Amino acid sequence: MKKINSPTVQLFRQIWFQNYKGISITYLLIIIENICNLLQAAAIGLAIDGLLKGNLSNFLPIFALWIIHLSVGLYRHVYDTKIFGDIYSRMAFDMVERQRASGIEGNKIAGRVSLSREIVFFFETELPAIATAAIYFIGAITMLFIYDPFIGFFGLFIMIPIVLINRWFARRAYRLNNGLNNRLEVQSDIIMHQPLSFVRRHFNRMQFWRISISNTEAITWGIVDIMVIILTVATLLRLTHLYGITVGTIYAIISYIWMLKDAVNDIPVIVDNVSRVYDIGGRVAEKIETDHPE
Protein backbone atom coordinates (compact mmCIF):
# COMPACT_ATOMS: atom_id res chain seq x y z
CA MET A 1 0.00 0.00 0.00
CA LYS A 2 0.94 3.65 -0.02
CA LYS A 3 3.26 5.34 2.43
CA ILE A 4 2.01 6.43 5.84
CA ASN A 5 1.78 10.16 5.02
CA SER A 6 -0.31 9.54 1.90
CA PRO A 7 -3.35 11.71 1.06
CA THR A 8 -5.58 8.91 2.35
CA VAL A 9 -4.00 8.96 5.80
CA GLN A 10 -4.11 12.76 5.86
CA LEU A 11 -7.82 12.67 4.99
CA PHE A 12 -8.54 10.16 7.76
CA ARG A 13 -6.65 12.31 10.25
CA GLN A 14 -8.59 15.39 9.18
CA ILE A 15 -11.93 13.62 9.61
CA TRP A 16 -10.85 12.32 13.01
CA PHE A 17 -9.62 15.66 14.39
CA GLN A 18 -12.68 17.52 13.12
CA ASN A 19 -15.10 15.01 14.65
CA TYR A 20 -13.12 13.33 17.42
CA LYS A 21 -15.69 13.93 20.17
CA GLY A 22 -18.65 12.32 18.41
CA ILE A 23 -16.56 9.49 16.95
CA SER A 24 -14.91 8.79 20.32
CA ILE A 25 -18.26 8.54 22.12
CA THR A 26 -19.56 6.18 19.43
CA TYR A 27 -16.50 3.93 19.65
CA LEU A 28 -16.65 3.91 23.47
CA LEU A 29 -20.25 2.70 23.32
CA ILE A 30 -19.26 0.01 20.80
CA ILE A 31 -16.45 -1.17 23.09
CA ILE A 32 -18.89 -1.45 26.01
CA GLU A 33 -21.29 -3.47 23.84
CA ASN A 34 -18.50 -5.82 22.77
CA ILE A 35 -17.23 -6.34 26.31
CA CYS A 36 -20.77 -7.29 27.34
CA ASN A 37 -20.91 -9.76 24.44
CA LEU A 38 -17.51 -11.14 25.42
CA LEU A 39 -18.55 -11.80 29.03
CA GLN A 40 -21.89 -13.35 28.14
CA ALA A 41 -20.48 -16.82 27.42
CA ALA A 42 -18.83 -17.04 30.84
CA ALA A 43 -21.95 -15.64 32.52
CA ILE A 44 -24.22 -18.14 30.75
CA GLY A 45 -21.85 -20.97 31.72
CA LEU A 46 -22.07 -19.79 35.34
CA ALA A 47 -25.87 -19.66 35.08
CA ILE A 48 -25.98 -23.22 33.68
CA ASP A 49 -23.89 -24.57 36.55
CA GLY A 50 -26.03 -22.62 39.01
CA LEU A 51 -29.23 -24.01 37.50
CA LEU A 52 -27.94 -27.58 37.79
CA LYS A 53 -27.14 -26.93 41.46
CA GLY A 54 -30.40 -25.09 42.15
CA ASN A 55 -28.59 -21.77 42.76
CA LEU A 56 -30.64 -19.11 40.95
CA SER A 57 -28.36 -16.26 42.09
CA ASN A 58 -25.94 -17.34 39.35
CA PHE A 59 -28.38 -15.84 36.85
CA LEU A 60 -27.76 -12.28 38.10
CA PRO A 61 -24.54 -11.64 36.07
CA ILE A 62 -26.12 -12.59 32.73
CA PHE A 63 -29.23 -10.50 33.43
CA ALA A 64 -27.04 -7.49 34.28
CA LEU A 65 -25.03 -7.93 31.07
CA TRP A 66 -28.19 -8.16 28.96
CA ILE A 67 -29.63 -4.96 30.44
CA ILE A 68 -26.37 -3.01 29.97
CA HIS A 69 -25.94 -4.28 26.40
CA LEU A 70 -29.52 -3.41 25.44
CA SER A 71 -29.38 0.09 26.92
CA VAL A 72 -26.01 0.99 25.39
CA GLY A 73 -26.91 -0.54 22.02
CA LEU A 74 -30.17 1.38 21.66
CA TYR A 75 -28.53 4.71 22.50
CA ARG A 76 -25.55 4.06 20.21
CA HIS A 77 -27.72 3.25 17.17
CA VAL A 78 -29.56 6.56 17.51
CA TYR A 79 -26.42 8.58 18.25
CA ASP A 80 -24.07 7.31 15.53
CA THR A 81 -26.60 7.78 12.70
CA LYS A 82 -26.63 11.54 13.32
CA ILE A 83 -22.87 11.79 13.84
CA PHE A 84 -21.84 10.03 10.63
CA GLY A 85 -24.61 11.62 8.57
CA ASP A 86 -23.21 15.05 9.50
CA ILE A 87 -19.67 13.94 8.69
CA TYR A 88 -20.65 12.78 5.19
CA SER A 89 -22.54 15.99 4.39
CA ARG A 90 -19.58 18.18 5.34
CA MET A 91 -16.96 15.98 3.70
CA ALA A 92 -18.84 15.69 0.40
CA PHE A 93 -19.39 19.46 0.18
CA ASP A 94 -15.75 20.24 1.05
CA MET A 95 -14.53 17.76 -1.58
CA VAL A 96 -16.75 19.22 -4.32
CA GLU A 97 -15.67 22.77 -3.43
CA ARG A 98 -11.97 21.87 -3.36
CA GLN A 99 -11.90 19.80 -6.53
CA ARG A 100 -14.04 22.27 -8.49
CA ALA A 101 -11.54 24.97 -7.63
CA SER A 102 -8.74 22.65 -8.75
CA GLY A 103 -10.32 22.20 -12.18
CA ILE A 104 -11.11 18.49 -11.92
CA GLU A 105 -13.75 17.32 -14.39
CA GLY A 106 -17.35 17.39 -13.16
CA ASN A 107 -18.05 13.76 -14.05
CA LYS A 108 -15.02 12.62 -12.09
CA ILE A 109 -16.11 14.73 -9.10
CA ALA A 110 -19.57 13.16 -9.26
CA GLY A 111 -18.01 9.70 -9.23
CA ARG A 112 -15.86 10.62 -6.27
CA VAL A 113 -18.84 12.00 -4.32
CA SER A 114 -20.43 8.58 -4.67
CA LEU A 115 -17.21 6.84 -3.68
CA SER A 116 -16.66 9.21 -0.73
CA ARG A 117 -19.59 7.62 1.10
CA GLU A 118 -17.27 4.65 1.55
CA ILE A 119 -14.94 6.83 3.63
CA VAL A 120 -17.67 7.63 6.15
CA PHE A 121 -18.84 4.02 6.01
CA PHE A 122 -15.29 3.05 7.00
CA PHE A 123 -15.49 5.14 10.17
CA GLU A 124 -19.07 4.09 10.87
CA THR A 125 -18.79 0.36 10.17
CA GLU A 126 -15.31 -0.89 9.29
CA LEU A 127 -13.35 0.59 12.21
CA PRO A 128 -15.94 -0.74 14.70
CA ALA A 129 -15.72 -4.11 12.92
CA ILE A 130 -11.94 -4.06 13.36
CA ALA A 131 -12.35 -3.16 17.04
CA THR A 132 -14.97 -5.88 17.48
CA ALA A 133 -12.76 -8.52 15.86
CA ALA A 134 -9.80 -7.43 18.02
CA ILE A 135 -11.85 -7.48 21.25
CA TYR A 136 -13.37 -10.86 20.40
CA PHE A 137 -9.99 -12.35 19.48
CA ILE A 138 -8.05 -11.02 22.47
CA GLY A 139 -10.94 -11.66 24.85
CA ALA A 140 -11.63 -15.18 23.56
CA ILE A 141 -7.95 -16.17 23.70
CA THR A 142 -7.67 -14.74 27.23
CA MET A 143 -10.74 -16.63 28.43
CA LEU A 144 -9.49 -19.85 26.81
CA PHE A 145 -6.18 -19.44 28.66
CA ILE A 146 -8.13 -18.99 31.89
CA TYR A 147 -10.17 -22.14 31.31
CA ASP A 148 -7.30 -24.22 29.86
CA PRO A 149 -3.83 -22.93 28.82
CA PHE A 150 -3.38 -25.70 26.22
CA ILE A 151 -6.45 -24.56 24.28
CA GLY A 152 -5.31 -20.94 24.58
CA PHE A 153 -1.84 -21.73 23.19
CA PHE A 154 -3.33 -23.69 20.29
CA GLY A 155 -5.62 -20.75 19.51
CA LEU A 156 -2.57 -18.49 19.25
CA PHE A 157 -0.71 -21.04 17.12
CA ILE A 158 -3.35 -21.15 14.38
CA MET A 159 -3.00 -17.38 13.97
CA ILE A 160 0.36 -17.85 12.21
CA PRO A 161 -1.10 -19.22 8.92
CA ILE A 162 -4.12 -16.90 9.27
CA VAL A 163 -1.89 -13.81 9.43
CA LEU A 164 0.25 -15.00 6.50
CA ILE A 165 -2.71 -15.66 4.17
CA ASN A 166 -4.30 -12.32 5.03
CA ARG A 167 -1.05 -10.46 4.31
CA TRP A 168 -1.12 -11.98 0.84
CA PHE A 169 -4.80 -11.12 0.47
CA ALA A 170 -4.26 -7.50 1.56
CA ARG A 171 -1.74 -6.86 -1.22
CA ARG A 172 -3.88 -8.53 -3.87
CA ALA A 173 -7.11 -6.88 -2.68
CA TYR A 174 -5.53 -3.42 -2.93
CA ARG A 175 -4.54 -4.00 -6.56
CA LEU A 176 -7.95 -5.41 -7.48
CA ASN A 177 -9.86 -2.63 -5.73
CA ASN A 178 -7.71 -0.05 -7.47
CA GLY A 179 -8.77 -1.48 -10.83
CA LEU A 180 -12.44 -1.57 -9.80
CA ASN A 181 -12.39 2.00 -8.49
CA ASN A 182 -10.71 3.24 -11.67
CA ARG A 183 -13.82 2.04 -13.49
CA LEU A 184 -16.31 3.36 -10.94
CA GLU A 185 -14.71 6.80 -11.01
CA VAL A 186 -15.45 7.31 -14.72
CA GLN A 187 -18.66 5.30 -14.89
CA SER A 188 -21.02 8.28 -15.19
CA ASP A 189 -19.00 9.68 -18.11
CA ILE A 190 -19.02 6.30 -19.89
CA ILE A 191 -22.77 5.86 -19.43
CA MET A 192 -23.60 9.35 -20.70
CA HIS A 193 -21.10 9.83 -23.52
CA GLN A 194 -19.74 6.52 -24.81
CA PRO A 195 -21.35 4.18 -27.38
CA LEU A 196 -23.30 1.18 -26.10
CA SER A 197 -20.58 -1.25 -27.19
CA PHE A 198 -18.14 0.61 -24.93
CA VAL A 199 -20.68 0.64 -22.09
CA ARG A 200 -21.05 -3.14 -22.42
CA ARG A 201 -17.28 -3.62 -22.24
CA HIS A 202 -17.19 -1.34 -19.21
CA PHE A 203 -19.70 -3.44 -17.27
CA ASN A 204 -18.02 -6.66 -18.36
CA ARG A 205 -14.76 -5.30 -16.97
CA MET A 206 -16.51 -4.30 -13.75
CA GLN A 207 -17.76 -7.86 -13.44
CA PHE A 208 -14.21 -9.16 -13.92
CA TRP A 209 -12.84 -7.02 -11.07
CA ARG A 210 -15.67 -7.94 -8.70
CA ILE A 211 -15.38 -11.67 -9.45
CA SER A 212 -11.60 -11.53 -8.96
CA ILE A 213 -12.03 -9.84 -5.57
CA SER A 214 -14.71 -12.33 -4.52
CA ASN A 215 -12.67 -15.36 -5.60
CA THR A 216 -9.56 -14.15 -3.79
CA GLU A 217 -11.59 -13.47 -0.65
CA ALA A 218 -13.16 -16.94 -0.88
CA ILE A 219 -9.73 -18.61 -1.03
CA THR A 220 -8.60 -16.65 2.02
CA TRP A 221 -11.78 -17.36 3.95
CA GLY A 222 -11.53 -21.08 3.13
CA ILE A 223 -8.00 -21.37 4.53
CA VAL A 224 -8.99 -19.40 7.64
CA ASP A 225 -12.00 -21.65 8.20
CA ILE A 226 -9.86 -24.79 7.89
CA MET A 227 -7.64 -23.46 10.68
CA VAL A 228 -10.68 -22.84 12.87
CA ILE A 229 -12.02 -26.35 12.20
CA ILE A 230 -8.66 -27.79 13.32
CA LEU A 231 -8.83 -25.68 16.50
CA THR A 232 -12.40 -26.82 17.21
CA VAL A 233 -11.54 -30.51 16.79
CA ALA A 234 -8.43 -30.14 18.97
CA THR A 235 -10.52 -28.40 21.64
CA LEU A 236 -13.16 -31.14 21.67
CA LEU A 237 -10.45 -33.79 22.00
CA ARG A 238 -8.86 -31.82 24.82
CA LEU A 239 -12.16 -31.50 26.69
CA THR A 240 -12.48 -35.29 26.80
CA HIS A 241 -9.28 -35.40 28.90
CA LEU A 242 -10.17 -32.66 31.41
CA TYR A 243 -11.21 -34.25 34.70
CA GLY A 244 -14.08 -32.73 36.68
CA ILE A 245 -15.09 -30.20 34.02
CA THR A 246 -18.63 -28.84 34.42
CA VAL A 247 -21.34 -28.46 31.80
CA GLY A 248 -21.21 -24.68 32.14
CA THR A 249 -17.45 -24.65 31.56
CA ILE A 250 -17.79 -26.80 28.44
CA TYR A 251 -20.44 -24.41 27.12
CA ALA A 252 -18.22 -21.39 27.83
CA ILE A 253 -15.14 -22.90 26.16
CA ILE A 254 -17.04 -23.89 23.02
CA SER A 255 -18.66 -20.44 22.94
CA TYR A 256 -15.26 -18.74 23.08
CA ILE A 257 -13.99 -21.02 20.30
CA TRP A 258 -16.90 -19.85 18.15
CA MET A 259 -16.29 -16.25 19.17
CA LEU A 260 -12.70 -16.68 18.02
CA LYS A 261 -14.04 -18.23 14.81
CA ASP A 262 -16.26 -15.19 14.20
CA ALA A 263 -13.32 -12.85 14.78
CA VAL A 264 -10.92 -14.56 12.36
CA ASN A 265 -13.61 -15.24 9.75
CA ASP A 266 -14.26 -11.50 9.58
CA ILE A 267 -10.61 -10.74 8.79
CA PRO A 268 -10.77 -11.31 4.97
CA VAL A 269 -13.84 -9.07 4.67
CA ILE A 270 -12.21 -6.39 6.81
CA VAL A 271 -8.98 -6.57 4.79
CA ASP A 272 -10.90 -6.20 1.52
CA ASN A 273 -12.93 -3.25 2.82
CA VAL A 274 -9.87 -1.48 4.23
CA SER A 275 -8.02 -1.94 0.92
CA ARG A 276 -10.98 -0.52 -1.02
CA VAL A 277 -11.40 2.48 1.27
CA TYR A 278 -7.66 3.19 1.29
CA ASP A 279 -7.71 3.46 -2.49
CA ILE A 280 -10.88 5.59 -2.46
CA GLY A 281 -9.37 7.91 0.15
CA GLY A 282 -6.50 8.72 -2.19
CA ARG A 283 -9.01 9.75 -4.86
CA VAL A 284 -11.15 11.87 -2.54
CA ALA A 285 -8.08 13.69 -1.22
CA GLU A 286 -6.28 13.80 -4.59
CA LYS A 287 -4.57 17.03 -5.55
CA ILE A 288 -4.99 18.66 -8.94
CA GLU A 289 -1.41 17.79 -9.98
CA THR A 290 -2.31 14.11 -10.15
CA ASP A 291 -5.21 14.87 -12.52
CA HIS A 292 -3.39 17.31 -14.78
CA PRO A 293 0.29 16.40 -14.85
CA GLU A 294 2.71 18.84 -16.37
Mean pLDDT (the chain) is: 83
Q: Which comes out higher in pLDDT, residue 71 or 11?
A: 71
Q: What is the pLDDT of residues 202-217, one digit of tens each?
A: 888 888 888 888 898 8
Per-residue model confidence (pLDDT) at position 36? 93
Phi (first) and psi of residue 132, to 5 degrees: -60, -45
Per-residue model confidence (pLDDT) at position 51? 87
Q: What is the pLDDT of residues 113-170, one digit of tens each?
A: 766 777 788 888 888 888 888 899 999 999 999 999 999 999 899 888 988 988 888 8
Per-residue model confidence (pLDDT) at position 279? 76
Report the pLDDT averaged over residues 261-279.
81
pLDDT higher than 60, residue 15: yes
**Distance between CA 155 and CA 264 in Å, rounded?**
11
Task: Please report which confidence band the pLDDT of residue 294 belongs to, taking 50, 70 and 90 as the band edges.
Answer: very low
CA neighbor of 67 nearest in space, from 55, 59, 78, 79: 59
Three-state secondary structure string covering the chain:
CCCCCCHHHHHHHHHHHHCHHHHHHHHHHHHHHHHHHHHHHHHHHHHHHHHHHCCHHHHHHHHHHHHHHHHHHHHHHHHHHHHHHHHHHHHHHHHHHHHHHCCCCHHHHHHHHHHHHHHHHHHHHHHHHHHHHHHHHHHHHHHHHHHCHHHHHHHHHCHHHHHHHHHHHHHHHHHHHHHHHHHHHCHHHHHHHCCHHHHHHHHHHHHHHHHHHHHHHHHHHHHHHHHHHHHHHHHHHHHCCCCCCCHHHHHHHHHHHHHHHHHHHCHHHHHHHHHHHHHHHHHHCCCHHHHCCC
The residues near 185 (Cβ < 8 Å, ≥ 6 apart) are 108, 111, 112, 115, 283
pLDDT higher than 50, residue 289: no
For domain 7-291, say whether CATH 1.10.490.10 is its number: no
Per-residue model confidence (pLDDT) at position 284? 67
**Distance between CA 189 and CA 65 in Å, rounded?**
53
- Between the alpha carbon of residue 135 and those of residues 87, 120, 143, 184, 263, the distances in Å are 26, 22, 12, 34, 9
| AA identity, residue 225 | D
Q: What is the pLDDT of residues 50-70, one digit of tens each?
A: 888 888 888 899 999 999 999
Per-residue model confidence (pLDDT) at position 291? 41
**Distance between CA 175 and CA 285 in Å, rounded?**
19
The residues near 276 (Cβ < 8 Å, ≥ 6 apart) are 118, 173, 177, 180, 181
Residue boundaries of the structural domains of the chain: 7-291
Q: Which comes out higher in pLDDT, residue 2 or 226?
A: 226
The torsion angle over the Cα atoms of residues 26, 29, 30 and 34, rounded to 10 degrees, is 170
Report the pLDDT averaged over residues 38-50.
92
Task: Please report which confidence band the pLDDT of residue 290 belongs to, taking 50, 70 and 90 as the band edges.
Answer: very low
Let me know: does 116 contact 97? Beta carbons within 8 Å. Answer: no
Task: Please report which confidence band the pLDDT of residue 7 belongs to, taking 50, 70 and 90 as the band edges.
Answer: low
- Portion of the chain with pLDDT greater than 90, in percent: 24
Q: What is the pLDDT of residues 74-113, one digit of tens each?
A: 999 888 888 888 888 887 787 777 777 777 777 667 766 7
pLDDT higher than 90, residue 175: no
